[in-house]
Amino acid sequence: MAPTIDSLIAGLPYNRLMTAYGVTVVAGKAISAVIPDAVHFKIVGSSGFGKSCEAAALLKIATSVNDADHVQIALLDLERKTSRLFEDLPHVARFRVGRKVVDMAMSAPSADEVAQKLAVLKGELDRRAARNIETPLLLIYVEEMLSLQYEVDETLLSQMLDHLAILAVRGRKYGMFLEACTQVDYSTEQLRAAQKQFRTRIGFALDPSAARASGFINTALIKENFAKGQPGQFVLEMPGFSELMLAPAYDVKAELARLEAPTSTRHSPTSTTWEVPTSMRPQLRLSDQDGSPDGKRLEAEDDDHLEASESDMLSVKALQVSAMLKQRKGQNEIIEAVWGVTGGRAYQEAVQEYREIVAQLLKRGA
């Protein structure tokens, strides 16, 4: 069974520069990654098998378990679909170029804009190299790399490919890492050296010949996965590891539909209240038995109202989080709804509390 995003998030430490891929098919073991050790991520596969959902999951987990002081993202998404889920996060990098501040999310998506922003990222690499710095970590998401080669203006093409190659070869030394998503890998002369820098390869239902061109080496596993053609299942290759994996259950289309729904049908992030469904309203009191982080556990009570103590408020939050998880809500949406924050130190504190609640719920099987 495909893992949930929140179960993977709950298993990772905070601000350790990590993300997670999913679980192994055979043992159901969660596999995570320290981003600098993964170096660069290459995600390859035909449409409809989960490539974009896995790419989005990597971004979501990375931005959920790391604050913006530790991990920033650049979103070079030609179609501006997957990236829409993340472009309002505080993690989106911004760089000053002369008097202008350049936001690393797409504004009017085009191949030329991607090329221009790659030039800005090359400038950031030069700045970091001159100062010998590698923080904060910058994860650069490039969606549909193949399209760029054919759609960018000819005057920008060679420069764009050069910048992409330089970021792949030199970026790792200065905390800049690529997450490249494509249907078919590049085979241009300029990017052959860059291809070798992608230490993490993720392949969805890849034809064996296409897999070889993309650098995959476990032919037997590639053939098995291609023959099954199961959406959400992929081959993960990295140094010392090669296995069939299941991607997290993360429906990008559904998340985009929710994001783009009229505001009247969505929860307002400025609100600090959230209605607990009637079916989720057992009345609670505290008893002096182990079972919660402070050495107490929650028991049912016949009273009609909850007392507004700090411990009781935590139990109400646990109910709210549990209900929203069952509705397949994501971490950021839950934190906005329950805690009423979207960024800054308050958001970081809410993430910590949220993670404790999720761990408690998972332990109880809630």
Looking only at Cα atoms, what is the longest distance across the chain? 74
The radius of gyration of the chain's CA atoms, rounded to the nearest angstrom, is: 22
User: Looking at residue 6, what is its pLDDT?
Assistant: 93
With a cut of 90, say whether residue 62 has pLDDT above it: yes
Among the ranges given (42-51, 143-152, 266-275), the one the predictor scored with the smallest mean pLDDT:
266-275
User: Looking at residue 184, what is its pLDDT?
Assistant: 66
Q: Which CATH class is domain 5-254?
A: alpha beta
Contact 174, 166 (CB under 8 A): no
Q: How many CA atoms lie within 13 A of 250 on its CB side?
A: 30
220 contact partners, CB below 8 Å, separation of at least 6: none
With a cut of 90, say whether residue 10 has pLDDT above it: yes
Point out which residues pair with 102 in neighbouring strands. 95
Residue 298 pLDDT class (50, 70, 90 cuts): very low
**Span 35-41, average pLDDT:** 94
Taking alpha carbons only, the member of 316, 321, 324, 315 closest to residue 293 is 315
Q: Give per-residue pLDDT as tens, 237-255.
A: 999 999 999 999 999 999 9
Question: From edge to edge, which strands make up the β-sheet containing 233-238?
Answer: 30-34, 18-24, 241-246, 233-238, 200-204, 41-45, 176-182, 137-143, 71-77
Domain with CATH 3.40.50.300 in the chain: 5-254
Question: For 129-156, b where at least 16 C-beta lie within 10 A, e where not — what string?
Answer: eeeeebebbbbbbbbbbeebeeebeeeb
Q: Write down the pTM of the prediction.
A: 0.73
Give the count of beta carbons closer than 10 Å to the beta carbon of residue 261: 10
DSSP 75-134: EEETT-SGGGGTTTSTTB-EEEETTEEEESS-SS--HHHHHHHHHHHHHHHHHHHHHT--
With a cut of 60, say whether residue 268 has pLDDT above it: no
Residue 149 pLDDT class (50, 70, 90 cuts): low
Q: C-alpha distances in angstroms, 250 versus 4, 6, 40, 110, 336?
A: 7, 10, 22, 26, 19
User: Looking at residue 297, what is its pLDDT?
Assistant: 33
131 contact partners, CB below 8 Å, separation of at least 6: none
Instruction: For the chain, give the percent of residues with pLDDT over 90.
Output: 49
- What are the structure tokens assigned to 54, written together? 């896995």
Mean pLDDT of the chain: 81
d(Cα 58, Cα 61) in Å, to the nearest integer? 5
- DSSP letter (8 states) at residue 277: P
With a cut of 80, say whether residue 14 has pLDDT above it: yes
* Highest mean pLDDT, choosing among 86-95, 150-159, 264-273: 86-95
- Could you write out the three-class secondary structure of 59-82? HHHHHHCCCCCCEEEEEEECCCCH
Q: What angle do CA 82, 52, 160 make, to 5 degrees?
A: 75
Among the ranges given (92-106, 110-124, 143-157, 349-363), the one the predictor scored with the smallest mean pLDDT:
143-157
d(Cα 208, Cα 218) in Å, to the nearest integer? 10
